[in-house]
Amino acid sequence: MIWIRSLAFNIAFHLWTALMCFALLWMLLLPRPQMVAVVKWYLGTVGWLERTLVGIRYEVRGRENLPDGPFLLAAKHQSAWETMKLHLLVKDPAIILKRELMWIPIWGWYAAKAKMIPVDRGAGGAAIKSLIRNSRPVRDEGRPIVIFPQGTRVAPGTYRPYRIGVGMLYDSLGIPIVPMALNAGLYWPRHSFLKYPGTVVVEFLPPIMPGQPRAEAMRDLEERLEAASDRLVTAAGGPPTLRPPPPEPAQSKRTATAVS
């Protein structure tokens, strides 16, 4: 039954998305806010397909933790599900994404019109400078900036280190970080044809206010976001994340060498 429902959803989703990509090309002539409103309508129809065909629903917790002004939304990234809900979860987000996605015909036009923030992940330090430069106008518009701190999708129960980009933005933009925990990977696994019924839980955690040392803010973000996501995953029957042990302090290593 899950296979049949997943097949029906995947066919409907891809056909509907392809149709909308062409049918809504006229949106590119609209002012950006009006275009974003139509995009939200499309994303709502995808949510209807999820509920109807595979039984995926979602619950949002912690909306009171979203600041009124601009902020960095550091979102756990487990699947494609959350990328299609961000415009429904927060107001007019600018999503940091791989530059190559902007080159996709038609889809990239919509992303450019919506003023997403592309980044060339292979450009090293130049990519960070470009990321900060392109994020400042978005901050000044009062829009939230969405970043996936681990840089890619990470399956529940799997650990991947956090990248420096979120810390550099925190230092440079002077705005809060709001961690966003979730368990979407249990129901919409990455690289998987199958979709599973259930309720995705999205939880906005209390913000990390600007002004802390970058290393301290990054440590706080990782500890809180990983703990909250693990809590949501295990509560739904998923596996906890097995993290590598912290590195042994240098002093302890020297002491152990001297003793041996």
pLDDT of residue 120: 81
In this predicted structure, the answer to whether residue 253 has a pLDDT above a threshold of 90 is: no
**What is the tens place of the pLDDT at every residue in 27-81?**
999 999 999 999 999 999 999 999 999 999 999 999 999 999 999 999 999 999 9
Burial 96-132 (b: 16+ CB within 10 A, else e): bbebeeeeeeeebebbebbbbbbbeeeeeeebbebbe
Tokens linked to 242? 């097995």
Task: Give 84: exposed, middle or buried? Use CB within 10 Å, 0-12, 13-18, 19+.
Answer: middle
Q: Is residue 102 part of a domain?
A: yes
H and E: helices and strands count for the chain: 8, 7
Residue 91 counted as domain residue: yes
SS3 content of the chain, % helix, strand, coil (to 5): 50, 15, 35
Total domains in the fold of the chain: 1
Within a domain: 172: yes
* Residue 224 placed within a domain: yes
Quickly state the pLDDT bin for 126 (edges 50, 70, 90).
confident
Q: At 67, which CATH number? A: 3.40.1130.10
**pTM for the complete prediction?**
0.89
pLDDT at 52: 97
Structure-block tokens of residue 190: 């990455």
How confident is the model at residue 127, as a pLDDT? Answer: 83
Decide if 253 is inside a domain: no
Provide the 10 A C-beta neighbour count for residue 95. 21
CA–CA gap between residue 235 and residue 252 (Å, rounded): 37
CA distance 247 to 236: 31
Residue 1 in domain: no
Polymer length of the chain: 260
Asked whether residue 5 is domain-assigned, the answer is: no
Round the average pLDDT of the chain to a whole number and report it. Answer: 91
**Domain of 146, in residue numbers:** 56-243
Kindly state whether residue 226 falls inside one of the protein's structural domains.
Answer: yes
Per DSSP, what are the bridge partners of residue 179?
A: 74
Chain position carrying tokens 């909308």? 20
At which residue do the structure tokens 């899950």 appear? 2
